[in-house]
Structure 1
Amino acid sequence: MPQDRAPTRIQKKNRTAILEAALTVFAARGFRGATVDQIAAEAGLSKPNLLYYFPSKEAMHNALLEQLLDTWLDPLRSLDEKGDPQSEIMAYIERKLQISRDYPRESRLFANEIVQGAPRIQDALSRDLKTLVDEKAALLQSWMDQGRIAKVHPYHLVFSIWALTQHYADFEVQVHAILGEEDPYEGAEPFLETLYSRLLAP
């Protein structure tokens, strides 16, 4: 979209609609399976109109991933060194579950990108994500060294939290096939609280 003047209300609305449609299509079909025609149809716009805002599906995918990475990193950023260690870790788990509940399509978009080798966000993973995880792993290790939580591998602790929270979004169809109408998050939160409180008890 031309950047020589501020976008109008209609332009903002169309851009939002395009990204919402792209998220739906990418989450369902992955990057390779998605097409500009599918995204245009989902957005209710013509293909030329869509291409006025985004020149390619790569541009739409990159815009979504840029927005998503901040959402993904925020819960870990909130881990507070001044707080009670177990309470901070439990709050982090709750935040990750909430993201899975509220943003399942975004979670699947991110998972699809990772499964493909992260060709579009490899730099961000190696830079932003690694820096943050290194910092928080050091914090976890310091709590362990102080005897405030049990000693476990700090990186694998983080990985396990990702796996056990993001599963509910990334494998949503499988979860619902097994649980039926039951809300999986109602059982997930107390289960994970029990699991990690026992694991981390000093």
Structure 2
Amino acid sequence: MPVPRAAKTQRRTRIQEEKEQIILEAALDVFSLHGFKGSTIDQIAEVAGMSKPNLLYYFRTKEAIHRALLDQVLDTWLDPLRELDAEGDPVAEIRSYVRRKLEMSRDYPRESRLFANEVLRGAPSIQEELADLKALVDEKAQVIRAWIKAGKIARCDPYHLIFSIWATTQHYADFDAQVRAVLGPDKSGEGRFEDAARFLEQFYIGGLQLR
């Protein structure tokens, strides 16, 4: 993770750490709304409620702020997949994975859009992390293949199963405005996530159960 500029000059104080978090929180708002290219240091400083020179004391560039945010997101984004347990019941494990991914879309929509925007621009800042992601997905694909071989779930392509779970759960964060507009005022409240969870459980578990 890039070290904030303040940390290079002296030991950080509690106030400095708090300032850095204020900057990162403001930057998350700006980047998730405008994307990397559409965001500026001035916008981040305005949302953070500080001057541009003051902000640049903590982070030298827009790239440094962006990278720090990505590191924070990636640190937690893959936790649900890491927790897919080879020794667990396949149906329960996949149901839990779908639920946790949907909960992350509910609780961390800005982080989801930050990551999506990075991938859409070719993922220039996270190439090494994508290699780590591939290794993790390869590992969990082997788990799913073992379940299939043992006759515990129906045959499927493990990679496309994982991709489809990402797509259907993260949709509720990345396209939230569209989801709420289409559902209308009666169905677009917080209950939409539970409605989605029930449908997705039925969709995936029904498709993976042996006939």
- Please indicate the TM-score interval, normalised by the length of the shorter structure: over 0.9
Task: Compare 65-74 and 152-161 and name the one that shifted more.
Answer: 65-74
Give the structure 1 partner of residue 177 of structure 2: 173
Aligned amino acid, residue 143 of structure 1: W
Tell me, in whole angstroms, the C-alpha distance in 2 between the residues paired with 1:92 and 1:197. Answer: 12
Shift of residue 119, structure 1, vs aligned partner: 0.7
RMSD, aligned CA: 1.0
Unaligned runs of 5+ in 2: 1-5
Give the structure 1 partner of residue 3 of structure 2: none
Tell me, in whole angstroms, the C-alpha distance in 1 between the residues paired with 2:33 and 2:86. Answer: 38
Give the structure 2 partner of residue 190 of structure 1: 198
Match of 1:134 among 119, 134, 138: 138
Asked whether 1:88 is paired with 2:102, we answer no
Tell me, in whole angstroms, the C-alpha distance in 2 between the residues paired with 1:81 and 1:31. Answer: 38
* TM-score, normalised via structure 1 length: 0.97
Match of 1:159 among 156, 159, 163: 163
Tell me, in whole angstroms, the C-alpha distance in 1 between the residues paired with 2:53 and 2:68. Answer: 19
CA distances 1:149-181 after superposition (whole Å, capped 9, x unpaired) = 000000000000000000000001101111133
Q: Counterparts of 1:105-124 in structure 2 under 5 Å?
A: 105-124=110-129
Tell me, in whole angstroms, the C-alpha distance in 2 between the residues paired with 1:138 and 1:81. Answer: 9
Asked whether 1:38 is paired with 2:51, we answer no
Percent pairwise identity: 60
Aligned amino acid, residue 200 of structure 1: L
* Secondary structure of 1:148's aligned partner: coil
Tell me, in whole angstroms, the C-alpha distance in 2 between the residues paired with 1:170 and 1:72. Answer: 14
Match of 2:152 among 136, 148, 153: 148
Give the structure 1 partner of residue 106 of structure 2: 101
Tell me, in whole angstroms, the C-alpha distance in 2 between the residues paired with 1:59 and 1:70. Answer: 17
Tell me, in whole angstroms, the C-alpha distance in 1 between the residues paired with 2:103 and 2:66. Answer: 23
Tell me, in whole angstroms, the C-alpha distance in 2 between the residues paired with 1:75 and 1:172. Answer: 21
Aligned amino acid, residue 177 of structure 1: A
Unaligned runs of 5+ in 1: none
Aligned amino acid, residue 63 of structure 2: E
CA distances 1:27-64 after superposition (whole Å, capped 9, x unpaired) = 00000000000000000010000000100110000000
Shift of residue 4, structure 1, vs aligned partner: 5.0
* Secondary structure of 1:2's aligned partner: helix
Count of residues in Structure 1 that have an aligned counterpart in Structure 2 = 201
Tell me, in whole angstroms, the C-alpha distance in 2 between the residues paired with 1:180 and 1:47. Answer: 40
Tell me, in whole angstroms, the C-alpha distance in 1 between the residues paired with 2:75 and 2:42. Answer: 28
Give the structure 1 partner of residue 69 of structure 2: 64
